Amino acid sequence: MPHTSNMNAGIFVILGLALVPLGSASFDPSVICTLVVNGTKINDPRACNAWIECVDGKPVAGTCGADLFYDRESEECVASDSIKCVSSDPCASVLNGFTADPYSCSSYYYCLNGKGTKGTCPTGMNYSAGTEDCIRNFPCQVKMDPDNYCNILPDGVFIKDTTNCNGWQMCWDGQVLNGTCPGTFYFSAGSARCDYPQNVECDFTVAPDIDEMGVCAHAGDFVSDNISCNGYYYCHELEDGQMALEHAVCSDGRFFLAVDGGACVPRYKAPCAYDRCVGLGNTTIQLASESDDGCRGFSLCQDGASIGAGTCPGEEYFDEVTQRCTTQVISYPACQLSAAASTKVVSQTAMNDDTDGTSPSPSPSASASASTEAS
């Protein structure tokens, strides 16, 4: 049984430590398989020789033969002495003897015939695997973390971030990388790529604090999502009198304008302080006008995000509709110098134009069809 070391006194004291049965890990492959592409193979951290393949969003388990461990990188069964097994079951690779707790610095397990019981060091002491001692002030960082993506997935596999709609994660060289899709694109776990929101099911859209921000003045209002040019919220009243928000986006080629109840209008009629490249550059480089610059400049757009900027030569103006610089005077509301004047002009003209303006839909699923019908 591990003994404790008082480093200052230089003597060792044998302590009898209470042992408790080995508990089960929290690894849930049925959840992970909804976050990765079909066919992804996962190292099962509960055992050294087990793996799981995600088939149509469901986990299908498999095991390696005798004296073989599963290798997440090669996705093959290899000799057990050729790789290090990091398992949530500490006794998976140690049949008999003491081994460290993969989740805690101050705990350890005693394994007997592959079955483990847990022990805990006294307060202020950590377990040292090298000496099998509980040592006071022993430096320790929990680095194994069997459930970490970098222990269960091959490098380079995209996995959906469960905290937001446009986020993704990936393990690379032992580190979990975090990223987001450009503009208002959502990350699709099924295709492992960024896609239009209407093509991706997502329950993680974070709504603004309605009470604090005073977002919804009345039930039935449409308000900007305050993060994009084409995103908005529909305000509806619940039975208890509280307001609830439903997120949606305008159809391609339209931006949300939060005046007169809100509407989706042609993008050149809507000034916007956010990235105007949203919806552009998905197959080739496209250009978007700059807000409040007198219609002189433009942004270079790729995959819905700005990658650069330019200005038309001399006295020429940029026309977002034709994607060209021209000597003709351009005065679209989207790029007029005065944002206040743009709002006034659009509210009096574009918003009352049944051909150009479309009222947003109360739900994201209905948004695309409503906008398309009015296009």
SS (HEC) of 324-366: EEECCCCCCCCCCCCHHHHHHHHHHCHHHCCCCCECCCCCHHH
Whether residue 293 sits in one domain with residue 242: yes
Mean pLDDT score, 235-245: 74
Burial of residue 284 (number of CB atoms within 10 Å: 0-12, 13-18, 19+): exposed
Domain membership flag for residue 290: yes
Whether residue 341 sits in one domain with residue 217: yes
The β-bridge relationship of strands 3-6 and 305-311 is unpaired
Whether residue 263 sits in one domain with residue 328: yes
Position 277 scores a pLDDT of 92
What percentage of the chain reaches a pLDDT higher than 90? 19
Whether residue 370 sits in one domain with residue 255: yes
Whether residue 254 sits in one domain with residue 189: no
pLDDT in tens, 162-173: 878 888 888 888
Whether residue 219 sits in one domain with residue 330: yes
What's the number of domains the chain is made of?
A: 3
Domain membership flag for residue 174: yes
Whether residue 87 sits in one domain with residue 27: yes
Position 373 scores a pLDDT of 32
Whether residue 216 sits in one domain with residue 342: yes
- Which stretch, 4-13, 93-102, 240-249, has highest mean pLDDT? 93-102
Whether residue 40 sits in one domain with residue 71: yes
Whether residue 219 sits in one domain with residue 312: yes
**Which residues form the domain of 195?**
155-199
Mean pLDDT score, 293-320: 91
Domain membership flag for residue 286: yes
Whether residue 362 sits in one domain with residue 214: yes
| Residues 119 and 112 sit within 8 Å (Cβ to Cβ) | no
Which residue, 92, 109, 136, sits at the end of a domain? Answer: 136
**What is the layout of strands, in order, in the sheet containing 11-13?**
11-13, 3-6, 133-136, 125-128
Whether residue 223 sits in one domain with residue 189: no
Domain membership flag for residue 146: no
Q: How far is the C-alpha of 272 from the C-alpha of 280, rounded, in Å?
A: 15
pTM value is 0.42
pLDDT in tens, 190-228: 899 998 888 888 766 454 444 444 567 778 888 887 788
Question: pLDDT averaged over the chain?
Answer: 76
Which residue in 137, 189, 198 sits closest to 167, CA to CA? Answer: 189
What is the CATH classification number for the domain harbouring 51? 2.170.140.10
The residue with greater pLDDT, 223 or 240, is 223
| Residues 172 and 157 sit within 8 Å (Cβ to Cβ) | no
Domain membership flag for residue 147: no
Mean pLDDT score, 272-288: 89
